[in-house]
A and B are shown apart, each in its own frame.
Chain A
Amino acid sequence: MRLATVPYSIPAIILLLTQCVNLGFIQAAPKQAITHTYNIAYLTQEQVIPAPLSNLDPFVKDKGVIGAELGIDDDNTTGEFTGQQFNLKKFIVPLDGNAVDTFTKEISPHFQFVVVNLPAQALNQLADLPVAKPLLLFDVGTRDDALRNEECRRNVLHILPSRAMRADALAQYMMKKRWTQWFLVVGPNPEDRLYAEAIKRAAKRFGMKIVAEKAWEHTYDARRTVQSDVAVFTQTEDPYDVLVVADEQGQFGEYLDYRTWIPRPVMGTQGLIATPWHKTHEQWGAVQIQHRFLEKAGRWMEEEDYGAYLAVRAVGEAATRTQSHESRSLKDYLFSDAFALNGYTGTPLSFRSWDNQLRQPVLLAAPRSLVAVAPIDGFLHPKTELDTLGYDQPESHCHWDK
Chain B
Amino acid sequence: MKQKALKCFLMLALTASAQAETVFVTLEKDNALAVVDPIAGKLIKTVPIGQRPRGIFVSPDNKFLYIATSDENTIKIIDANTFKELGKLPSGKDPETFALNPAGDRLYVSNEDDSLVTVIDVAKKKVLKQIKVGVEPEGITVSPDNKWLISVSETTNMVHWINTKTNAIEANTLVDPRPRAASFTADSQQLWVTSEMAGTLMILDSQTKQIIKTIGFEVQGVTRDKIQPVGVVIDKERHRAYVALGPANRVAVVNAKTFEVEKVLLVGQRVWNLAFSPDQKRLYTTNGTSNDISLIDLESQTVTKSVGVGTYPWGVAVKP
Partners in one complex: yes
Partner-B contacts on A (CB < 8 A): 2, 5-7, 13, 17, 20, 25-30, 74, 77-78, 80-82, 285, 288, 291-292, 295, 320-321, 340-342, 346-348, 384-386
**B218 within 8 A of partner (CB):** no
B61-88 contact mask (Cβ, 8 Å, vs A): 1 or 0: 0000000000111000000000000000
B71 touches A2 (CB 8 A): yes
User: Taking the nearest CB of chain A, how far is it from the CB of B89, in angstroms?
Assistant: 16
14 pairs of residues in contact across A and B, judged by CB atoms under 8 Å:
A17-B114, A27-B130, A29-B132, A74-B135, A78-B134, A81-B158, A288-B112, A291-B113, A295-B113, A340-B177, A342-B197, A347-B225, A384-B224, A385-B225
Contacts of B167 in A (CB 8 A): 27
A342 touches B178 (CB 8 A): yes
Q: With A25-B129, A292-B113 as given contacts, are A320 and B174 in contact (CB-CB < 8 Å)?
A: yes
A27 touches B168 (CB 8 A): yes
Contacts of A385 in B (CB 8 A): 223, 225
Partner-A contacts on B (CB < 8 A): 51, 71-73, 93-94, 112-116, 127, 129-136, 154-158, 160, 167-169, 172, 174, 177-178, 197-198, 223-225, 228, 247
B134 touches A346 (CB 8 A): no
Q: In chain A, what residue has the closest Cβ to B223? A: A385
The A contact surface, by secondary structure, is helix
A81 touches B134 (CB 8 A): yes
A321 touches B174 (CB 8 A): yes
B177 touches A342 (CB 8 A): yes
Compute the total of residue contacts between A and B using a CB distance below 8 Å.
89
Q: In chain B, what residue has the closest Cβ to A320? A: B174
Q: With A5-B71, A81-B156 as given contacts, are A285 and B136 in contact (CB-CB < 8 Å)?
A: yes
Q: Which 9 A-B pairs have the closest CB atoms?
A: A78-B156, A26-B130, A29-B132, A347-B225, A348-B197, A81-B172, A27-B131, A74-B135, A77-B135
Measured between alpha carbons, how far is A68 from B253 in the docked complex, in Å?
41
B73 touches A342 (CB 8 A): no
Measured between alpha carbons, how far is A38 from B255 in the docked complex, in Å?
43
Partner of A77, one of B127, B134, B225: B134
Q: Can you name 4 extra interface pairs (CB under 8 A) apart from A27-B132, A29-B132, A78-B158?
A: A26-B132, A29-B133, A285-B154, A386-B225
Measured between alpha carbons, how far is A385 from B247 in the docked complex, in Å?
15
Measured between alpha carbons, how far is A37 from B51 in the docked complex, in Å?
43
Measured between alpha carbons, how far is A340 from B197 in the docked complex, in Å?
8
Contacts of B158 in A (CB 8 A): 78, 81
Q: In chain A, what residue has the closest Cβ to B113? A: A291
Q: In chain B, what residue has the closest Cβ to A386? A: B225
Q: With A288-B112, A292-B113 as given contacts, are A27 and B129 in contact (CB-CB < 8 Å)?
A: yes
Measured between alpha carbons, how far is A103 from B291 in the docked complex, in Å?
54
Q: In chain B, what residue has the closest Cβ to A340? A: B177
A30 touches B130 (CB 8 A): no
Contacts of A285 in B (CB 8 A): 136, 154, 178
Partner of B157, one of A5, A25, A320: A320
